A and B are shown apart, each in its own frame.
Chain A
Amino acid sequence: MDGWKHGDTLWRLLIALTAAAVLVLILAIGWLLWRDSSAARQEFGVSFVLPTSDASWNPVFDKFQAWPFIYGTLQTSFVALLIAIPVSLGIAIFLAELSPAWLRTPLGWMIELLAAIPSVVYGLWGIFVFLPAVVTPLGDALGQAFGGIPGLGVFFAGLIPQSGSSRLAASLILAIMIVPTIAAVSRDVFLAIPGAQREAAMALGATSWEMIWQVLIPYGLSGILGAVILGLGRALGETMAVTMVIGNSIEGSLSLLRPGYTMSSIIANEFAEAVTELHTQALVEIGLVLFIMTLLLNIVARFLVWRVARRTPQEVRA
């Protein structure tokens, strides 16, 4: 019995196996998606994900191309980032550098609460409150302002539906949903920057803003970039709220003001009702593409955040 050290060998084995199981889980997700999309991958090859102007998604003839959904996901996520980055950086700076101490904790909590609201509640509020009140008028205004400009006008062409259901609506809701992620991570990045950096900038006569803009942001840039990528990862995968407000339409338009479709919302809408095996497989393949995209983004983001966190304490000591 001595070799077992009163059961400790068994215990160590048990916890090591559970730890390994977490790793195996990720591999299992990738493997099952890969396996269950094999026929679709063979049938359509690379053309499944390549950009085309006349992509077909036709369950009746078993012809599937995912480009409209990939475009919808990338466009809505990109616009959401454009809106969310300045807002979240502002929040992060305010929370880390400016806020009076009594306000810091409650404000931080409220921002975090924004991340805790279930996605379907965002969707419901979106459909009945936010879209008619904000998105429809905003879409009309944007269409009038930018619709006529050559080039850029493509993204503001057409009329926004009266309900407001559009890629613009999805982008705005996504922006609200990813602000807490980006803000919380970049606040932590700011807090990890050594005080000596601030003092040095102040001692050279910088104003608070110059210190933030010329010293803190460059110093924490890779961490902030990591935060942004984490937010992007959330935006790419977000399903319910987007499905409820984007209008779910496969039309060729590039416009933000028109209804669209995303990768996650086509899976949500069609998977349970897919008839043919190839239809199911095509949807799983979209899931696989989404999985790979978010996996890569997360690895990059974690690496960037981790590098800042790791570098900082050493430099304080030096």
Chain B
Amino acid sequence: MTTSTMPAKRQIVFSEARFARRRIVNLIMLGLTGAMALLALVPLIWITTYVILRGGSSINVSFFTQAPRPLGVAGGGVLHAIQGTFILTALAGVFAIPPGVLAAVYAARNPNTPLGIAVRFSTDVLSGVPSIVVGLFGYALIVKTQGHYSALAGGLALAILMLPIVVRTTEEMIKLVPHTLREGSLALGAAEWKTTLRVVLPAAMNGIITGLMLGLARASGETAPLLFTALGNERYDAFRIIKSGIQTGQNPLSILNMLVEQPIDSLPLTLWKYAQQPYPERINQAWGVALVLMAIVLLTNVSAKLWVTRRAGQLKG
């Protein structure tokens, strides 16, 4: 039964056994791909349910409304970190969105010029720069120059991480705006900047806002860039700063400055610090923080996706 005894059989193109084997291999491999997709969902579901159950039991009203208590004292909350996340994310948005949108306008308008290609390429590269390296950059640029850690430095570091998301989504959305709209405005004699600001960007606004929301959500969950820019500050209290600023008759700009010139905490930073402490109440609060972070991320992502899908449906119909 060696090959030499069956040359005639080898000429038969169709072999039942071989075909059966190929079909079995086919089924097994296709089944495996489906199994891989299921496997990837395991950590997602595991993390989500565990964070909801464990975090849900450690969240209460004081979690959101009180400052941290000294170690070993039960109760207290993470109000300082909630304020911090809000301020840092807002700063990141202020630093990243205007330049990001303008750069995207350039890239969408001049896709094939050297600078247009360079912008797209450098946004791609920038999105791959490790967040810890961005933190080092923020330290070298702001903290070292100013001589102290600050919310400002943290906001800037987050903005650098957010910038690629802003540029890419804005560019994609601008490209989807029909040419006729743009040409119509130009034909009516509107200047190009006016066409961009009053016609093109408003037409693309829904998509852009979705992208910005995803970018802000990403920024609000980042830790590494804040480690040596914002540093962390358990005694931060935005309300007290604003109140004392008003009482001493400061103008709004200097109150704003007081808010951002000192070190600040954020939810992810707090989680990182609490998770390493041996106190059960701190660990519990870390799970609570994880729940808040997951809620921010899941809600923004899901609502953004639903919004985009609905809009796409409307545009088609």
Complex CA–CA separation, A86 to B39 (angstroms): 11
User: Does B79 have its Cβ within 8 Å of any Cβ on chain A?
Assistant: no
**Residue pair A124, B106 in contact (C-beta under 8 Å):** no
**Residue pair A236, B34 in contact (C-beta under 8 Å):** no
B307 → A minimal CB distance (Å): 13
User: Can you list 7 A-B contacts with CB-CB less than 8 angstroms, sorted by A residue number?
Assistant: A110-B44, A119-B222, A121-B290, A237-B129, A237-B130, A268-B224, A290-B132
**Residue pair B126, A207 in contact (C-beta under 8 Å):** no
User: Does A233 have its Cβ within 8 Å of any Cβ on chain B?
Assistant: yes
Mark out the residues of chain B between 171 and 206 whose CB falls within 8 Å of any chain A CB in the assembled complex. Answer: 191-194, 196
Binding site for B on A (CB under 8 A): 5-8, 10-12, 14-16, 18-23, 25-26, 28-29, 32-33, 35-36, 86-91, 93-95, 98-99, 105, 107, 109-114, 116-125, 127-130, 176, 179-180, 183, 207-210, 212-213, 230, 233-234, 236-240, 244, 264, 267-268, 271-272, 283-284, 287, 290-291, 294-295, 297-299, 301-302
Complex CA–CA separation, A112 to B224 (angstroms): 21
Closest B residue by C-beta to A95: B37
Interface majority SS (helix, strand, loop, mixed), chain B? helix
**Residue pair A121, B136 in contact (C-beta under 8 Å):** no
Interface residue range, chain B: 35 or more
A121 in contact with B294 given A98-B30, A244-B275 (CB within 8 Å): yes
Give every chain B residue within 8 A of A244 (Cβ-Cβ): 272, 275-276
Give every chain B residue within 8 A of A129 (Cβ-Cβ): 46, 50
Closest A residue by C-beta to B271: A120
**Residue pair A118, B103 in contact (C-beta under 8 Å):** no
**Residue pair A93, B33 in contact (C-beta under 8 Å):** yes
A121 in contact with B191 given A22-B123, A110-B41, A272-B227 (CB within 8 Å): no
- The interface stretch among B113-121, B239-247, B253-261 is B113-121
B159 → A minimal CB distance (Å): 10
**Residue pair B36, A86 in contact (C-beta under 8 Å):** yes
A193 → B minimal CB distance (Å): 16
**Residue pair B33, A32 in contact (C-beta under 8 Å):** no
* From B124, B137, B275, contact of A123 by CB (8 A): B275
